[in-house]
Structure 1
Amino acid sequence: MIDALTVATAVAALALAAWCGYAAFRDQPTKDWHFIGMAVVTLLALVQLVVGVVRLAQGDKPHEGGVIFVAYLIGALCAVPAAGLLSLSERTKWGSVTVAAGGFVLAVLQVRLYDIWGGVSA
């Protein structure tokens, strides 16, 4: 894995969570610019998925197994788009809360991906 990409994805996800959390605080639903932010964060997660699969194809092995690593990569890719789709069905502040939660989940998944790859030895 590329540590800088993992950090960038986690920071962008937390920024999205804070941004949507602020919108929820102001009783606002998700707006078009929130969806642009979601697209940027999702693009980072997609790049990470591609990099992770390429690294696996090159023979690099995560410490906790390739299957769980790929499963976390796919989950990370789906976290924010799923929250965005849910926010479309809830056009109140709770839609913004949903996206904020999705961004936070993505940040946590980044930490877990780092651990799975072998970034932290226990």
Structure 2
Amino acid sequence: MIDALTIVIGVTALTLAAWCGFAAYRDQPTKDWHFIGMAVVTVLGLAQLVVGIVRLARGEEPDQGTAIFVAYLLGSALAVPIGAFMSLAERTRWGSATVAAAAVVMAVLEVRLFDIWEGTGG
């Protein structure tokens, strides 16, 4: 994987998690600005998905298996959009908390993607 892209995704996802977590702490639902942040993180996740698929199509293989890599890749790309839709259904502080949790999940999945590709994971 591209190290810089993985780092950028992790940092932006954790920033989104902190932002939405603070909104939940302040008893606020997700607002339009939060959705812009979610869109940015989602676009980065989709870029990672494209990079991963292109690398697989070129014949490169992850050290820990293609199936698990693709599963984590899809999970990472879909974590924040799913959290966004759930926050629309729950227009309270818990919607913000849901997005914060989804963003943390995305950051963790990115770390695991790097481990699967490089072979440094358990």
TM-score, structure 2 normalization: 0.97
Identity %: 66
1:35, distance to aligned residue in structure 2 (A): 0.4
Letter in 2 for 1:52: G
Aligned twin of 1:98? 98
RMSD: 1.0
1:79 corresponds to which letter in structure 2? A
Amino acid at match of 2:59: G
Structure 2: runs of 5 or more not aligned = none
- Gapped regions of structure 1 (runs ≥ 5): none
- What's the secondary structure of 1:5's corresponding residue? helix
The Cα offsets for residues 92-113 of structure 1, whole Å up to 9 and x where unpaired, read as 1000000000000000000100
1:108 is matched with 108
Matches of 1:45 and 1:57, distance apart in 2:
18
Post-superposition CA distance 1:49-75 (Å, at most 9, x none): 000010111111100111111111111
Question: What SS is found at the alignment partner of 1:116?
Answer: helix
- Cα displacement (A) at 1:119: 5.4
Partner of 1:80: 80
- Partner of residue 3, structure 2: 3
Q: Is the 8 A contact 2:64 2:119 kept in 1?
A: no
SS at match of 1:91: coil
Equivalent residue runs for 1:32-51 within 5 Å: 32-51=32-51
Q: Distance in 1 between matches of 2:23 and 2:121?
A: 38
1:108 and 1:10 map into 2 onto residues whose CA distance is: 8
Does the residue aligned with 1:73 lie in a helix, a strand or coil?
A: helix
Give the deviation of 1:120 after TM superposition.
2.1
SS in 1 for 2:64: coil
